[in-house]
């Protein structure tokens, strides 16, 4: 009897913004926040862990990557990583195994696990390059089943006054045009905005995952710290459903 695909449990940690050393980052113990997410009860029994960018606080601090890779040494499941705008692949590559995932200086790839396919794109420079978009469209069309997509930047505005006006993705129209043609992507998981939101984009839902570093008030047009509590996301993906929940500590 066909039992369907295994239900995959995916944990997403976004925007830890770890500093070069163990000192506080803007008054926040970001390393403790990262550990709170990573060690949370809700993150037990994962099949896959995703780190969706801004691992380093400002400028790809090597100490940030060495800290994270050290913590993840005992991680029993695969870890998929994409860079954010504060990361630099040439530094990350020294601490994480990105072999086969970096093409022309961009980290984008497909990861297959238990009969499911997941796509990862690189928006570190604020755009998703047309090379990546062509690759995504072509590669996703080879798969009949639904696939998931992870990007650091939301491919849409999110009704966040500060982030929308200052740090939104720069080629939203181009990215949305491609995405609208890819029917087997229904759920897109992102970070970057330091708040929680689900945004409907045609037939797709963009799930904005809050940061482990801190959350930013969406109602203010200037930077306004809303909370220094870490948050993270858990996704359960079965044959005919995607269930997801954000946890705040
Ligand atoms: Fe970011």
Domain range holding 129? Answer: 8-248
Kindly state the average pLDDT of the residues 163-183: 98
Q: How many structural domains comprise the chain?
A: 1
In angstroms, the CA 10 to CA 45 distance is 9
Taking Cα atoms as reference points, which of 207, 149, 222, 220 lies closest to residue 183? Answer: 149
Give me ligand 1 centre to Cα 213, in Å. Answer: 11
Segment 6-61, tens digit of pLDDT: 899 999 999 999 999 999 998 999 999 999 999 999 999 999 999 999 999 999 99
What is residue 87's predicted lDDT score, i.e. its pLDDT? 98
In angstroms, the CA 23 to CA 5 distance is 44
pLDDT band at 150; cut points 50, 70, 90: very high
What is residue 101's predicted lDDT score, i.e. its pLDDT? 98
Residue 226 has pLDDT above 80, yes or no: yes
Segment 193-223, tens digit of pLDDT: 999 999 999 999 999 999 999 999 999 999 9
Q: In what order do the strands lie in the sheet with 79-82?
A: 79-82, 48-52, 8-13, 231-237, 242-248
Give me ligand 1 centre to Cα 78, in Å. Answer: 23
Give me ligand 1 centre to Cα 46, in Å. Answer: 25
Segment 93-146, tens digit of pLDDT: 999 999 999 999 999 999 999 999 999 999 999 999 999 999 999 999 999 999
CB-proximal residues (5 Å) to ion ligand 1: 54, 84-85, 192
Give me ligand 1 centre to Cα 52, in Å. Answer: 9
Give me ligand 1 centre to Cα 157, in Å. Answer: 14
In angstroms, the CA 141 to CA 212 distance is 34
Residue 148 lies in a domain: yes
Query: Which tokens hold the place of 127?
Result: 């755009």
pLDDT band at 167; cut points 50, 70, 90: very high
Segment 79-96, tens digit of pLDDT: 999 999 999 999 999 999
Residue 1 lies in a domain: no
Kindly state the average pLDDT of the residues 172-184: 98
Give me ligand 1 centre to Cα 231, in Å. Answer: 15
Residue 3 lies in a domain: no
What is residue 225's predicted lDDT score, i.e. its pLDDT? 97
Give me ligand 1 centre to Cα 237, in Å. Answer: 26
The DSSP line for the chain is ----PPPEEEEEE----B-SSSS-BTTB-HHHHHHHHHT-GGGTT-SEEEEES--BSSS--HHHHHHHHHHGGG--S-EEEE--TT--HHHHTTTS--TTTEETTEE-EEEEETTEEEEE---TTSS--HHHHHHHHHHHHT--S-EEEE-SS-SS--S-HHHHHHH--TTHHHHHHHHHH-TTEEEEEE-SSSS-EEEEETTEEEEEPPPSS-EE-TT-SS--EEE---EEEEEEE-SS-EEEEEEE-
Residue 184 lies in a domain: yes
pLDDT band at 1; cut points 50, 70, 90: low
Taking Cα atoms as reference points, which of 148, 127, 142, 146 lies closest to residue 207? Answer: 148
In angstroms, the CA 65 to CA 19 distance is 9
- What CATH number is attached to the domain comprising 241? 3.60.21.10
Is this prediction's pTM over 0.95? yes
Q: Are 168 and 185 in contact (CB under 8 A)?
A: no
Residue 97 lies in a domain: yes
């Amino acid at each position: 009897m066909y039992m369907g695909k295994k239900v995959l449990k995916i944990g997403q940690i976004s925007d830890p913004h770890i500093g070069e050393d163990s000192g506080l980052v803007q008054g926040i113990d970001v390393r403790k926040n990262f550990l709170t997410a990573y060690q949370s009860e809700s993150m037990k029994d994962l099949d896959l862990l995703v780190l969706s960018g801004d691992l380093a606080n400002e400028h790809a601090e090597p100490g940030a990557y060495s800290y994270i890779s050290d913590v993840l040494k005992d991680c029993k499941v695969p870890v998929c990583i994409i860079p954010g705008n504060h990361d630099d692949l040439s530094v990350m590559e020294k601490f994480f195994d990105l072999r086969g995932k970096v093409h022309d200086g961009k980290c984008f790839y497909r990861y297959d696990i238990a009969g499911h396919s997941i796509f990862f794109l690189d928006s570190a420079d604020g755009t998703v390059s047309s090379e990546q978009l062509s690759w995504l469209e072509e590669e996703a069309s080879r798969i009949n089943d639904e696939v998931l997509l992870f990007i650091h930047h939301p491919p849409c505005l999110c009704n966040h006054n500060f982030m929308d006006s200052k740090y939104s993705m720069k080629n939203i129209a181009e990215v949305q045009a491609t995405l609208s043609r890819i029917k087997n992507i229904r759920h897109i998981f992102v970070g970057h905005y330091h708040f929680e939101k689900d945004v409907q984009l045609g037939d797709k839902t963009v799930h904005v995952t809050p940061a482990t570093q801190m959350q930013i008030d969406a109602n203010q047009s200037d930077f306004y710290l809303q909370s220094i509590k870490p948050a993270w996301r858990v996704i359960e993906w079965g044959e005919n459903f995607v269930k997801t929940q954000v946890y705040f500590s």
